[in-house]
Structure 1
Amino acid sequence: MPIEAPSLNLVVLRARDPGSLAAFYKALGFEFQIERHGSGPEHLASTTGGSVFEIYPKGSESLDTSAVRLGFRVPSISTVLSDLGTTVDMISRPSKSDWGTRCVIRDPEGHKIELLET
């Protein structure tokens, strides 16, 4: 029996302002809903393509996810950048690569986000 390759099914980010961070990712096409699991904290969750993307409030603990780098395939980088407006923290401008057009931006909580248009 062939072994099935692993696939990513969950990404969790911590944020000082989860609502603001969700608004940023909404420009990439994510739709969030409020969730709570058991006695855990209320958070925002988006399910797409079989994966769950969650944004939790950053509590008093020292959990910091700002070193995390995420990559998203998007239909149009120019549309995403336009939807985000003038507040985009651009690390590298859109340019052609072997994988398609790509750029790297930073979200409001400091996470580096690679956008790839194929």
Structure 2
Amino acid sequence: MIQLNLVVIKTSRQEEQVRFYSTIGITFESHRHGNGPYHYAATLDGLTFEIYPLPKGTTEPDTTTRLGFTVENLNNTLQRLEELGVETVQAPASTEWGYAAVVKDPDGRRIELVEQLIK
């Protein structure tokens, strides 16, 4: 069995990223491993999601990685994100994957948000 257990994004805007991802429902803790950089980490159902500073010598974050998250209430989440000034790239709509929208995080990564299906 293979399971994804770690996703790390690197940014020059750690605090903005933490605010963005906290707004969609992720709770972070500040971490540092040995002499490594301070960063933020969250555990999501067995997946560790981390926000690290950009490595020295790097000036631009990778914005080609697309992430997707399931949220409890898409419309409420979008409203809170809009209050932060977050750009909605794709308005909420029913799709084959559920009620979904796409927004941009503070670095410009496209983030897909899908409303949690009621079971």
Deviation string 1:87-110 (CA, Å, 9 cap, x unpaired) is 121110000111111111100111
Q: Does 1:77 align with 2:74?
A: yes
Tell me which residue corresponds to 1:18.
14
Q: Secondary structure of the residue that 2:72 maps to in structure 1?
A: coil
Q: Secondary structure of the residue that 1:24 maps to in structure 2?
A: helix
Q: Secondary structure of the residue that 1:23 maps to in structure 2?
A: helix
Tell me which residue corresponds to 1:116.
114
| Distance across 2 between alignment mates of 1:11 and 1:65 | 13
Tell me which residue corresponds to 1:59.
55
- Report the Cα offset of residue 85 of structure 1: 2.8
Q: Secondary structure of the residue that 1:54 maps to in structure 2?
A: strand
Asked if structure 1 preserves the Cα contact closer than 8 Å seen for 2:61 and 2:107, the reply is: no
Q: Secondary structure of the residue that 2:17 maps to in structure 1?
A: helix
- The letter of the residue matching 1:73 is T
- Report the Cα offset of residue 60 of structure 1: 2.6
| Distance across 2 between alignment mates of 1:53 and 1:25 | 10
- The letter of the residue matching 2:63 is S
What TM-score do the two structures reach when normalised by structure 1? 0.89
4+ aligned runs moved over 3 Å, structure 1:
none
- The letter of the residue matching 1:11 is V
Which of 78, 87, 95 matches 2:93?
95
Asked if structure 1 preserves the Cα contact closer than 8 Å seen for 2:12 and 2:61, the reply is: no
- Report the Cα offset of residue 67 of structure 1: 1.1
| Distance across 2 between alignment mates of 1:95 and 1:52 | 29
- Paired residues, what number? 114
- The letter of the residue matching 2:31 is E
What TM-score do the two structures reach when normalised by structure 2? 0.89
> What is the root-mean-square deviation of aligned Cα atoms in Å?
1.3
